[in-house]
Structure 1
Amino acid sequence: MEPDVTDGIPPLQSDSSPPPDQITDAQLQSELDARTQSIAQGPEFTDTPRICYEYSVTGGSFVDELEEWYSYKDGVESGLRTWDGDDVAQSLGPDGYLECVVKTGPGPLSLPQLSCLLYIAQGLFADSIGIRDHIQRLHSGSDMLINGSVVTRVIDTLSSRLDDLLGDLVAMVASKATYYDPVVATCLTILYHITLSSLERHKPVPGVSELPAKLIATIARMRYGGQDVVSLKQLHLLLWKVLVLELGDQKALEDTSRAQRQKYDIPEEDPALPIVTASPIDYEAFRQDVTARYPSFVPPKSIIPPEIDTQQSLSSFVHVPRPLNEQQSNTQLPAPQVHLATPAPSPPLTPATTTAKGQKVKRSVYQKNQSFPFLFPSDDGDTVPESIKEAVELFSSRVRTDVATKQLWEVRKEFMRQERGWLTVDEMIGELSLDCSQATPLEKIESIYSSSLEHLNSFVAVSLKFLLANIVFFADGEGEFDGDQLEYIRNSEISLKAVSSVIVLLTKWFRVNHVMQFEHFATLLFDTRFFLLVYRFFYAHDTLEASLRRTEVRSKGFFYKSMMLSQNPDARDFDQVFPILTPVSPNTAHNVKQVTVFNQRYIQTAINLVKTLRMIVSKKTQRIIVVAELPSDTLKKALAIRQPDLNKAVWNLFKEQIPFNGRKWKYANMDIISHIYLNCKLDLRDDWLVGTSVTSEVDDAYPQEVALRALVQFFNTLRYPKQMEKLGFVRKNADFFAAEDD
């Protein structure tokens, strides 16, 4: 009997169980999914604290925004109103007094009447039994003023008083007032209370539809004086809140954008399935490259509308496809000496050169000219590889356009019609059908733009000058501030937040309504050196320390002071409603992963400024070059804290600049490049880092800027001729013979 050779040997494992040094497909897939999820959540910041702040264009809570209206030093006590001394108001009560005011008839309200109305708007705090009750009284007081039909009277009083104060330019320049005008200050405070209360409860306010345009015109009129009698901070705060009240919050902005896409037949993308897309301009460049290499292949047509003699129009510089075969680095290459379709032996590994010994071989020896067809023998007679066909099919299926591009094409088409003399401007104006009703947010922002077009230049100049004046320089690590310093820094922070919020809100709504309105406003911002203010803002201080600095003292605020004047001192619930918060020290912030107590005003201002800068320079080479020349270390200071909205906006700004920076900069900032890959959206044809030649982009940068401004001027002259005539743009007769007869 033969021995059993398997005796003492463990049985063989089944094929279903893998060897110990291998993993199954399921385990590998699990590890890949875990890694993908970690990358999607963003990189881990080992030494950067995370600021737990959710950005919103509408600002903070109702209580915080109301506290910011009043100054600590001289604004709270002087801003509070009571009925002491007004026997009529005390005897009639709030309802009876409102009826009495309405019966006085039209005309401006007096200061005593405005003071009583302000006390109603401030919630009749003398009878409140606590802060919670005071908040409810604030809302009730706003409803009483709205239902009492006095909002229009207050706005008319404000307009009449502003005309008196700002109507005389010589008086404005010579004015040296020490206090703000009480009538204007009281009217602004009443309207702010009503607006803020209505925003909190999502209620409309009748009669304020014309207020945004009036406030913009008022700020523009203060370009040469009047800032000592009217508070620019309060004007911007009220303008910000009225814009949100009339146009809507972030959700309304997204809903309006969605409605615009439906209007232009742009399908919605599934946010759960993000795909890498390409613009029509990128596909056109790719299509030209494929056609140049494979002349017999006909790729799918581009969605760009065909135009006649596009290269002869100034507007052709706005969007220029950049195929590889037309780049300067390719056109300088010599033509191939041997046709690629000619049978020949394999070339040597090292190209033959005729350079002398010791000389460097030219790079062009190793490069092929992309302008010549790529032909080669094929067994089936098809000269286009399957990989190229698949690439074209993939590229064409991922082409996506947006509302701004279609609107730009429409304006460019009209510009070319007028440029060629097919239609005059007067004839095109007759074809327009402008709806002046104000039912939707788009119609409201259209009304604001048309009413404010002649004032936008001065408005931007005044706002940015005010922004510059409130950028506070102070030494890092100063520690505690005294009362005057604290008040100065707090007012500066509130002013910066108000101005930046107004600018970013107008920029976003103009872009949603029409791209040319956005481009006009963006051009004004860029020409007024808005980008220098953004860099100056981050240069003025340490970002981490400024984001953790608390300048809010509840014991000096509106609610605390009003409770001190209440007739029920035993019912004060200040500490219960506003608990004392202890901020994190900047010295220990690096060891804290999440920071929940921080300076919300500073964070919102920083996000507003960076978002606006990105919008006005995006895809505009001339502006990107100007911004890229500024010190990048200043902008990198914004990355000292971890906040997704702020960080992503900064990374996108750097992504625009990287093609124009050298290798040394890229080598020294590989961390920024990595963050861009991980966090920013990439396009299918995204050559921001591959090192392609940007010579043609730089050469056409100035013509592109000129062409864009020409389209903006044409758009404004076509749609708003009366406003443009006030700015000096008078249309001339396009008929040569009629002009000769004159």
Structure 2
Amino acid sequence: MAFDTFALSDSSVCSYLDFVYDDTDTHFNEIAELYSYTEQYELQLNVKAFEDQMQSYNLRPVWQNLTIHQHKSIIYKLLDQLEVSNKELRMKAARCILYLAQGCWAEVQSDKEQQEWERTNVMLLYECGIFSAFIELLNIEIENNTAASADMKKTDVSLADSTDLRVILSVLYIITEVMREEFKHLDDSIYKHNVEAFKDELINPCEDELLIVKLLGMVTCFCSGSAPYFPMKKVLLLLWKLILVSLGGMETLRELKKIYREQAGLDNLQEDTIEVAKIMRPSSPPTSATDYIDTHNSKKGSRPFRRSLLKQSSLDEPNLEYESGRAMLIKNEGGIDTSEGDVDEGAFDNQSLLGDFRNYYDNPNIIVEQDTSAKMKGLPWAPKVRQKDVDMFLDVSRLKFVGYKLQGDRDSVAGLPQPIHEGLNILKRYMYTSLSEVQIQKEEEIAKNPMSTQEPPIRQTATEILYQAMLSNLPQHVIALLKILLVAAPTSRVKADSINILSDVMPEEFSEDSVQSAKLGVDVDRHKEIIVKAVSAILLLLLKHFKLNHVYQFEFISQHLVFANCIPLILKFLNQNILSYIETKHSIPFFDFPICVIGEQPGFTMDHLPIGENQNYSWRNIFSCINLLRILNKLTKWKHSRIMMLVVFKSAPILKRTLKVMHGILQLYVLKLLKMQTKYLGRQWRKANMKTISLIYAKVRHRLNDDWAFGNDLDARPWNFQVEECTLREGVDRFNNRRYSNAVKDEELEPVDTSITSVLGANVELTDEFKQHYELWLQQEVLQTSINWDELLAPTKCIF
């Protein structure tokens, strides 16, 4: 049975979220988020610049009435003006180009018409070389203003200090965003050649440095305090979209994974996590004991509320045949501490502690609810088994029944009973070999036999090119991104000496008008949310693409994220009223571009302040939460030391509160994080949170011989944690040094010079000790030793 709402004790209601997780929001919203509300007055400056330019060309300022030949002629003239030494003329031309890229909104009557002209103009601007010209303009602005910012105090920076940079970044962003949108319909697009050329230009630029690396350098300079005037929101949004266009989104990752697995000789039978999770029906969250008691006290004697709890568990009614077993179980287990656990009907209504699990053991074809009326029988995932698990199963079985191990033998089953044979067949049937395992095995072979093992060819993919360009400064880039995420998080308390991410939203003069103050307050919160959205998307894209390209590239950036305290930072972000964060919409549609400039604009009053759309959630906020949860999963999966960090930082209650968000994908990644740390939380926690464990069984993929809920993992001993990270670091460093470093290799592994001419002609520096005892050496090694020179100089065959 499905429920769309779930009443909580704090009178909040968690509604079912009809949110579709994708690479980005709609094109309309993505363009609108580029501009702050305080920038609205600057839009008129763009129109004024266009009108002045058209007047200087003796033309009417109506772009739509001009021919395509006139369009190109004007753009080429503006392109020439971008190269003049006079900065005022240069930026006037830049503003004129920005107006064209914005779709000539002063001449249109609807946002649809504006988007059509935006698309047409952007393609024309790109064909004329505007994108490359604005990259050069960006370089000039960065160099010219770096020295000027040395004397600038961070607290004095305002919107006016980044005017020119914001114009340049806006043009680059609009071109990138339009190209990204066009790429989604590439097969039917008349601009297919432009889109492909644009993507190739991003990865193989004419200049030495990638634009992505240049923007990452801007982020690092901003966080170091050397460039406090950089408009970080626009920099991060452009950086995110450039990575998305260059490397690809979820669809590209899916296709690349399929191709790479086929090249490695692996199957492609596993489900795609996002696609399966999209059709998962979200579950009502387990109610904590505190919520139950509070509501129970306020509605004492209310029978319907107790019945609603039973319904929300989505379980069958208990059968009488289980009563005796339940009574014995409760008697044996004793009392239950539910201080931070789920509501347990057994503690209040004498229901079963393990009622959730009865359905799994009695009815293996359990029904999983979906968005549609159709029901899908069985669990949503096929189980997986690692080769390591199969080897361990064989070793334990052989020791038990035969008394010895067969190192490296994965097929012999002599002496093992028939049930072991059947178990081994089932494990092999569901065995899954990941690309990471293949890559790690190859790296271990190269490290063990460097002379005889052939180096696999390096695929010069977009990801590989980006990794090589980022490698030298990647740790600094990662730290800078996390610093910005920390300051932008709603749970952080910004200090006076910290970085100022609001420099490109704060006006020079503050108005005391209550309406304007309220508008600025919304704009500030909106600004922070957009920054969090961009940073979370950037980190997730880099992790996903690096892992697919090579696991050690992924591990390199992962370790720097962990060392920079990314795990506690994400937990701190989630440790808030997550429902309020997701449902609060800090936006005023009245000020969103292009609505704010199309047609006649009525005066803004307090009546416009009921903000947001008709949806019951904020798209960017739930998108950010899912991204951060996915990053946390990426960093901690199969890493026992990092899983223990989740335990040490008490992430379980934080993650359980996040389950109140009724969305299938978000709940899935929360349950994954809870699953990996369940065995370390103790028996008492498991007893108090049986419904959470039940949700994990229902929604998270099963590992057939992973006793995650109650077992003790021998590989997770505390004294091995530091060794695990150090071993990983050694492998990553060895990988980077071999493939990307020019450092001196081990001399013993270098080829030997067998040429007599070069060997005898080499200058050998004799030591002082040898010179002192030269006569003794000559007597013992030369004069007293008989040498058959004829035999020595005769050609011989080497026999091995």
TM norm structure 2? 0.66
Q: 1:482: how far off? A: 2.3
Select which of 703, 709, 712 maps to 1:689.
709
Over 3 Å counting, the alpha-carbon distance change for 1:383 and 1:119 in structure 2 is: closer
Select which of 179, 184, 198 maps to 1:198.
179
Q: 1:60: how far off? A: 0.4
Give unpaired runs (5+ residues) of structure 2. 9-13, 64-70, 184-194, 204-209, 277-379, 494-515, 603-607, 753-763, 768-800
Q: 1:527: how far off? A: 0.8
Q: How far apart, CA to CA, are the structure 1 residues paired with 2:234 and 2:585?
A: 22
Select which of 66, 74, 77 maps to 1:97.
74
Alignment of 1:274-423 (within 5 A): 275-295=382-402, 384-417=416-449
Alignment of 1:130-141 (within 5 A): 130-141=110-121
Q: 1:174: how far off? A: 8.0
CA contact (8 A) 1:165 1:226 kept: no
Q: Is 1:720 aligned to residue 761 of structure 2?
A: no
Q: How far apart, CA to CA, are the structure 2 residues paired with 1:383 and 1:450?
A: 52
Local SS of the residue matching 2:245: helix
**What does residue 21 of structure 1 align with?**
none
Over 3 Å counting, the alpha-carbon distance change for 1:522 and 1:172 in structure 2 is: farther
Alignment of 1:477-492 (within 5 A): 482-492=518-528
Q: 1:265: how far off? A: 0.5
The Cα RMSD (Å) is 3.6
Q: Is 1:563 aligned to residue 543 of structure 2?
A: no
CA contact (8 A) 1:80 1:119 kept: no
Local SS of the residue matching 2:180: helix
Q: 1:81: how far off? A: 1.1
What count of residue pairs does the alignment treat as equivalent?
A: 579
Letter in 2 for 1:683: R
Letter in 2 for 1:601: R
CA contact (8 A) 2:125 2:131 kept: yes
Q: 1:141: how far off? A: 1.5
Local SS of the residue matching 1:485: helix
CA contact (8 A) 1:199 1:245 kept: yes
Local SS of the residue matching 1:245: helix
Give unpaired runs (5+ residues) of structure 1. 1-37, 305-372, 374-381, 437-442, 573-577, 585-595, 723-729
CA contact (8 A) 1:68 1:494 kept: yes
Letter in 1 for 2:695: H
Q: 1:708: how far off? A: 0.5
Q: Is 1:617 aligned to residue 597 of structure 2?
A: no
Q: Is 1:552 aligned to residue 587 of structure 2?
A: yes
- Greater Cα offset, 388-397 or 552-561: 388-397
Q: Is 1:84 aligned to residue 47 of structure 2?
A: no
Deviations 1:81-130 (A, max 9, x none): 11133333663864321122445697888211211111110111111122
Letter in 2 for 1:91: L
Identity %: 21
Q: Is 1:208 aligned to residue 202 of structure 2?
A: yes
Q: How far apart, CA to CA, are the structure 1 residues paired with 2:688 and 2:744?
A: 53
Q: Is 1:158 aligned to residue 138 of structure 2?
A: yes
Q: Is 1:63 aligned to residue 40 of structure 2?
A: no
Q: 1:159: how far off? A: 2.2
Q: 1:385: how far off? A: 2.3
Q: How far apart, CA to CA, are the structure 1 residues paired with 2:421 and 2:3?
A: 35
Q: 1:653: how far off? A: 0.6
- Greater Cα offset, 149-158 or 612-621: 149-158
Local SS of the residue matching 2:702: coil
CA contact (8 A) 1:297 1:384 kept: no
Q: How far apart, CA to CA, are the structure 1 residues paired with 2:101 and 2:712?
A: 62
Over 3 Å counting, the alpha-carbon distance change for 1:563 and 1:280 in structure 2 is: same
Over 3 Å counting, the alpha-carbon distance change for 1:399 and 1:62 in structure 2 is: same
CA contact (8 A) 1:42 1:678 kept: no
Select which of 678, 693, 716 maps to 1:673.
693
Select which of 678, 690, 694 maps to 1:658.
678
Q: How far apart, CA to CA, are the structure 2 residues paired with 1:655 and 1:741?
A: 66
Q: 1:646: how far off? A: 1.0
Q: 1:136: how far off? A: 0.9
Over 3 Å counting, the alpha-carbon distance change for 1:70 and 1:105 in structure 2 is: closer
Q: 1:283: how far off? A: 0.8
Q: 1:132: how far off? A: 1.6
Q: How far apart, CA to CA, are the structure 1 residues paired with 2:435 and 2:691?
A: 34
Local SS of the residue matching 1:238: helix
CA contact (8 A) 1:471 1:492 kept: yes
Letter in 1 for 2:384: T
Q: How far apart, CA to CA, are the structure 1 residues paired with 2:492 and 2:631?
A: 25
Q: 1:266: how far off? A: 0.3
Q: 1:296: how far off? A: 7.9
Over 3 Å counting, the alpha-carbon distance change for 1:130 and 1:531 in structure 2 is: same
Over 3 Å counting, the alpha-carbon distance change for 1:214 and 1:487 in structure 2 is: same
Q: How far apart, CA to CA, are the structure 2 residues paired with 1:454 and 1:42?
A: 51
Q: 1:43: how far off? A: 12
Q: Is 1:184 aligned to residue 204 of structure 2?
A: no
TM norm structure 1? 0.71
Q: How far apart, CA to CA, are the structure 2 residues paired with 1:695 and 1:200?
A: 47
Letter in 1 for 2:537: S
Over 3 Å counting, the alpha-carbon distance change for 1:506 and 1:180 in structure 2 is: farther
CA contact (8 A) 1:531 1:613 kept: yes
Q: How far apart, CA to CA, are the structure 2 residues paired with 1:740 and 1:303?
A: 56
Q: Is 1:269 aligned to residue 234 of structure 2?
A: no
**What does residue 471 of structure 1 align with?**
489
Deviations 1:274-309 (A, max 9, x none): 5322101111111111111222899996679xxxxx
Local SS of the residue matching 1:619: coil
Letter in 2 for 1:184: L
Q: How far apart, CA to CA, are the structure 2 residues paired with 1:54 and 1:741?
A: 75
Q: 1:143: how far off? A: 1.1
Q: How far apart, CA to CA, are the structure 2 residues paired with 1:167 and 1:733?
A: 44
Q: 1:397: how far off? A: 2.9
Deviations 1:229-284 (A, max 9, x none): 21111111001111111222211110011111011010121649953221011111
Q: 1:707: how far off? A: 0.5
Q: How far apart, CA to CA, are the structure 2 residues paired with 1:77 and 1:105?
A: 20
Over 3 Å counting, the alpha-carbon distance change for 1:740 and 1:718 in structure 2 is: farther
Q: 1:166: how far off? A: 4.0
Q: How far apart, CA to CA, are the structure 2 residues paired with 1:139 and 1:46?
A: 46
Q: How far apart, CA to CA, are the structure 2 residues paired with 1:88 and 1:432?
A: 61
CA contact (8 A) 1:278 1:398 kept: yes
Q: How far apart, CA to CA, are the structure 1 residues paired with 2:19 and 2:56?
A: 48
- Greater Cα offset, 630-639 or 293-302: 293-302
Q: How far apart, CA to CA, are the structure 2 residues paired with 1:472 and 1:696?
A: 34
Q: 1:497: how far off? A: 0.4
**What does residue 520 of structure 1 align with?**
556
Q: How far apart, CA to CA, are the structure 2 residues paired with 1:533 and 1:396?
A: 40
